[in-house]
Amino acid sequence: MYMKTTLGIYLSLLSALIIAGCSSASKISKPLPEAQVHPTQQTATVAEEPTLVSIQSKYLLKDTSQVNVYLYVDAYRGKNPISPEDFSKIYNLNYVIYSDYGTRDRQGYGNVKLDASNVSRVGNKIVISFQVKSPNKDYGVLLSEISQTGTLKKVLNDLTIHFKKQSTNLLYGIYTPSSTEPLQRHYINSNEPFTVKRITGDPGKLHVYYYAHSFEAAGSPMNTAPKTVSKSLEIDSSFTINTNESLRFEKEGLYNIFSDTTQSEGMGLLVVNERYPKITNPEILLGPLLYMSTNNEINEIKKAESYKKALDKYWLTLMNGNAPLAQQSIRSFYGRVEEANQLFTTYKEGWKTDKGMIYIVLGPPDKVQRSKDREVWTYDQRGNAQNVNFTFNRRNNQFVDDHYELVRYAEYQPIWYPVVEAWRNGTIR
């Protein structure tokens, strides 16, 4: 039980979390869901050996004949990010365009020379940009392979491309002052300067709809009850912006940007607080706990006069008053939350998505299989279960083109609850 004597040695667990920060997703040694990583590439055998961890990707259409592709790469030498100069010397890039997943119908291929003109660094990520010719098809799959010179080590990335689709999110990119390449993520921090640009540089006006709505977090993976039909969202305000001009959005919430208001799909941009993807505000820290807590526990915290003290009490109670173990568990749990925010933020925070929920509780999958509209995550072993699969289906969405929903099964219960219990007794690190 949580005893009064614990208050005498109160360590301000949540303050420790804020000061120490959460672990960064770019430092995960396991493969991220957006990457297919060659088995030999997951762990460096020499302290200063270059290592690729993962690749994320996106594309923008220049016109009907050319596509600009961007690869966002986590690359390290030991614990330090590799410089663009070193990266260009160490790695090679090849690509093939297939007509679809699981086919050998090749639509194009090429080798990309890496140099200062197309390799840069944004934060801790290497960003590679290159152009591919459209194969005069509506759809294709671009398979990129980054290999290390003189070794068998490589990392693969697959990217579905709609060569003729003219939606706003495929024509325009979000840029910040620190990068000449478009952001891969769907969020901007409040008051962070940014610019909306088209590759061609053409000036123009864009229409913006603002929604102050807060979206719900993912439901249990065992909840197979049919979803109730969601009500349509009401637009809170609308305005226009100019391309190629510096902008700042102060209000947190969801902004949907259109080049043509007759289109059904826009470019969703979530504006979040200045510390995101970390979450440190006590009221916000409560949200992800629903994945490992009972309704009574959540309601008790909500009724407390101080969220911070109630959260400290929650963690200390779970860990039987063991403050160091509580601190360790807090860092582990909210480190996962931060990673989920980095990886899966769409029109809502990453931790609220189906992918984010699975990632937070179970960690990175051991294998990912993708098709045109589906992803299957496989966990080799979790608890007493082996080869557990979670299937995510891509769903049409007016804000983003990478919205996935989990296929839920009641049979997940004997897998899910033991892992949740491991979080609650502090055995997950």
Per-residue pLDDT of the chain (429 residues; tens, 9 = 90+): 333 323 222 233 333 333 333 333 333 333 333 333 333 333 334 447 888 888 999 999 998 899 999 999 999 988 889 999 999 999 999 999 999 998 989 999 999 999 999 999 988 899 999 999 999 899 999 999 999 999 999 999 999 999 999 999 999 999 999 888 999 999 999 999 999 999 999 999 999 999 999 999 999 999 998 877 666 789 999 999 999 999 999 999 999 999 998 988 999 999 999 999 999 999 999 999 999 999 999 999 999 999 999 999 999 999 999 999 999 999 999 999 999 999 999 999 999 999 999 999 999 999 999 998 999 999 998 877 889 999 999 999 999 999 999 999 999 999 999 999 999 999 987
The domain containing residue 87 runs over which residues? Answer: 29-165
Domain assignment present for 81: yes
Crossing angle (nearest 10°) for helices 354-362 and 323-344: 150
Q: Quick check: helix, strand or coil at residue 72?
A: strand
Report the chain's C-alpha Rg in angstroms. 22
DSSP 8-state class, residue 199: T
Do residues 9 and 107 share a domain?
Answer: no
Do residues 300 and 161 share a domain?
Answer: no
Q: Quick check: helix, strand or coil at residue 298?
A: helix
Q: How far apart are CA 334 and CA 278, in angstroms?
A: 8
Domain assignment present for 171: no
- What are the strands, taking DSSP E only, across 163-227? 172-175, 187-189, 195-198, 205-211
* Res 284: pLDDT: 93
Do residues 11 and 104 share a domain?
Answer: no
Do residues 418 and 306 share a domain?
Answer: yes
**What is the separation of C-alpha 124 from the centre of its chain, rounded to a whole number of angstroms?**
15
Of 225, 238, 123, which is closest to residue 183 (Cα–Cα)?
Answer: 123
Do residues 306 and 379 share a domain?
Answer: yes
* Res 179: pLDDT: 85
Domain assignment present for 336: yes
Q: How far apart are CA 388 and CA 379, in angstroms?
A: 5
8 Å CB contact between 302 and 285 = no
Domain assignment present for 334: yes
**What is the separation of C-alpha 286 from the centre of its chain, rounded to a whole number of angstroms?**
20
User: 191: which 2 tokens?
Assistant: 């008051």
Q: How many domains does the chain fold into?
A: 2
Domain assignment present for 181: no
Do residues 11 and 111 share a domain?
Answer: no
Which H helix or E strand runs over 376? strand 374-382
8 Å CB contact between 26 and 125 = yes
Crossing angle (nearest 10°) for helices 13-20 and 307-318: 100
* Res 35: pLDDT: 36
In CATH, what number is assigned to the domain containing residue 59?
Answer: 2.60.40.10
* Cis amide prior to 277 (ω within 30 degrees): yes
Which residues, including other chains, have CB under 8 Å from residue 293's CB and lie 6 or more apart?
314
Q: Is the dihedral of CA 120, 201, 253, 298 positive or negative?
A: negative
**What is the separation of C-alpha 59 from the centre of its chain, rounded to a whole number of angstroms?**
16
Which residues, including other chains, have CB under 8 Å from residue 142's CB and lie 6 or more apart?
57, 59, 69, 95, 96, 97, 132, 158, 159, 160, 161
Crossing angle (nearest 10°) for helices 413-424 and 354-362: 60
Do residues 60 and 91 share a domain?
Answer: yes
Q: Quick one: 206 exposed, middle or buried, by C-beta within 10 A (0-12, 13-18, 19+)? A: buried
Domain assignment present for 387: yes
Mind spelling out the 3-state secondary structure of 91-152? Answer: EEEEEEEECCCCCCCEEEEEEECCCCCCEEEECCEEEEEEEEECCCCCEEEEEEEEEECCCC
Domain edge (last residue) among 165, 190, 218: 165
Domain edge (last residue) among 120, 145, 165: 165
Domain edge (last residue) among 165, 195, 210: 165
Do residues 309 and 354 share a domain?
Answer: yes
Tell me how crowded residue 67 is: count the other CB atoms within 10 A of its CB. Answer: 25
8 Å CB contact between 129 and 88 = no
Domain assignment present for 145: yes
Which residues, including other chains, have CB under 8 Å from residue 151's CB and lie 6 or more apart?
none
* Res 169: pLDDT: 94
